[in-house]
Amino acid sequence: MMDGWMQIAEVGRRIVRSGLASSRFGNMSIRFADSMLITRTGSLLDEIDPSQVIEVDLEAASARDALASSEAIVHRAVYSETSARAIVHTHSPYAVALSILEDRLDPLDGEGRAFLGQVPVVEGAFGTAKLARNVARALSQARATIARGHGVFAAGGSLAEAYSMACMVEHSAQVICIIGWRAKVQG
């Protein structure tokens, strides 16, 4: 089995390669029994090495949280309220754009309808208790959620699964936007 940091590095490269985040933004974590491995704040997702992942307690924040992603509070809340084993946070552009206009994403494509389902949009500034509460509540019922005007949080049984959910959110958002443009062009 790949070490945790190697899984994070691999998915980080995929996130940037597939345009779900520019190198600088976004974060990821993997859950263990009493701790989580999470990207360091400010890390470049396509240049992760062991120094760019931080292990912090699941139970509560500690001094090490200062090094961890500013969204550690959100990841911790999700692990406390769901059975997720991994979380991916991206700033994928179509999902972000849609979240500014809508209160939820209802996939129109077949794959999104079958495997993703409705994706609620939630409120809260990044790194806040409000965002943590809202994302955790949303992910206890949905595979992914979008923080309004900010980005996608997707959860799964593994990092690969969470990444795949984040990809589906962006794909479904693209399909909705394309249909919207076409409707506008056709008047």
Q: Which residue is nearest to ligand 13P (CB)?
A: 69
User: Is there binding between residue 70 and ligand 13P (CB under 6 A)?
Assistant: yes
**Does 99 interact with ligand 13P (rule: CB under 6 A)?**
no
Among 7, 29, 52, 69, binds ligand 13P (CB under 6 A): 69
| Token digits of residue 145 | 């959620």
Nearer to ligand 13P, 33 or 125 (CB): 125
The count of C-alpha atoms lying within 13 angstroms of the C-alpha of 133, restricted to the half-sphere facing its C-beta, is 6
CA 113, CA 165: separation in Å to the nearest integer? Answer: 12
The residues, ordered by sequence, that sit 6+ positions from 37 with a Cβ below 8 Å of its Cβ are 4, 5, 8, 29, 30, 53, 54, 55
Of 58, 118, 126, 177, the residue at the interface with ligand 13P (CB under 6 A) is 126
Single residue of 42, 50, 149, 157 touching ligand 13P by CB under 6 A: 42
Among 7, 16, 56, 71, binds ligand 13P (CB under 6 A): 71
Query: How many other CB atoms are found less than 10 A from the CB of residue 35?
Result: 17
Min dist. Cβ of residue 146 to ligand 13P (A): 12
Q: Which of 5, 25, 94, 153 forms a contact with ligand 13P (CB under 6 A)?
A: 25
Q: What does 60-116 look like in DSSP terms, one character per residue? A: S--GGGGTB-TTHHHHHHHHHHS--SEEEEE--HHHHHHHHH-SEE---SHHIIIII
Q: Does 65 bind ligand 13P (CB under 6 A)?
A: no
Residues that bind ligand 13P (CB under 6 A): 25-27, 39, 41-42, 69-71, 126, 151
